[in-house]
Amino acid sequence: MHAMWSSWAPPLERSKLLSISYAGAQLGTVISLPLSGLICFYMNWTYVFYLFGIVGIIWFVLWIWLVSNTPETHTTISHQEKEYILSSLKNQLSSQKSVPWISMLKSLPLWAIVVAHFSYNWTFYTLLTLLPTYMKEILRFNVQENGILSAVPYFGCWLCMIMSGQVADYLRAKWNFSTVCVRKVFSLIGMIGPAVFLVAAGYIGCDYSLAVAFLTISTTLGGFCSSGFSINHLDIAPSYAGILLGITNTFATIPGMVGPVIAKSLTPENTIREWQTVFWIAAAIDVFGAIFFTLFGKGEVQNWALDDHHGHRH
């Protein structure tokens, strides 16, 4: 999607456009968790895969039919809109045929995104895979309640992503906040905020309502990152945003493999104290990522990503 948006999203509209598109993942989680619980309860777990597989095929057909690579190749876009998009991106994109791999991999702003992405995903994947277990073993919800309540935090995150994208672009366009300032502030809120409430959730015992509230607030605040480091690839190198996302997402998928395994090994008895350790580890990694990105993140197109090798600030 980053590769697509690099040709479609005007700089001052990136936050809201990308946050809306990526919020779809959260909305999908909101729908799929309770629906999967109901399907497993009333039918069979295999139907979960059949249903979502069919939905994926339908999406693919619609994508092929409706989507174009660039504004120039879109058949129904208005001339005014096309010119607006192209003119807003003319000083942002590079026409270089070769990818500046060495300069790219030596770029500290890129590694700032890598660290932030890795740190954020540690908490995200840990909760995504183990939150139903926490709901069942610690809070004692049944499979139907589990699916619905496990989805509540992601509904909050979906709303936060939509709203934070609007606010981020408003601050940049109307209040002249620099891009780097907005990206860093939103990343700090979206990583340190969840860390605080995640740790707090481990110290309220079996207070069901408060536990769900804290976990919901934690996941909701994570939505701010959609207008923080998550789209910073497009700020520092829009022509190579797809490649940059591939690099950062490669590292960011490691928590999806390692995080849940570590969390599972730390909770053999599923006690509250064991879950406190899981939450503390996730919070510490989140805070580290937020601080690293704040120190080394950038908001302007990097020299190596431009034809003329002169950065442009937005």
Taking every pair of C-alpha atoms in the chain, what is the biggest distance, in angstroms?
63
Q: How far apart are CA 101 and CA 117, in angstroms?
A: 20
The listed CATH number (1.20.1250.20, 1.20.1600.10, 2.40.50.140, 3.40.190.10) that belongs to domain 1-305: 1.20.1250.20
Full-model pTM = 0.88
% of the chain surpassing 90 pLDDT:
66
Tell me: the pLDDT tens digits for 180-210?
Answer: 999 999 999 999 999 999 899 888 877 778 8
Q: Are the CB atoms for 168 and 186 separated by under 8 Å?
A: yes
Q: Are the CB atoms for 139 and 133 separated by under 8 Å?
A: no
Tell me: the pLDDT tens digits for 14-36?
Answer: 999 999 999 998 899 889 878 88
Tell me: the pLDDT tens digits for 219-256?
Answer: 899 999 999 999 999 999 999 999 999 999 999 999 99
Tell me: the pLDDT tens digits for 118-152?
Answer: 999 998 888 777 777 777 777 776 655 666 777 88
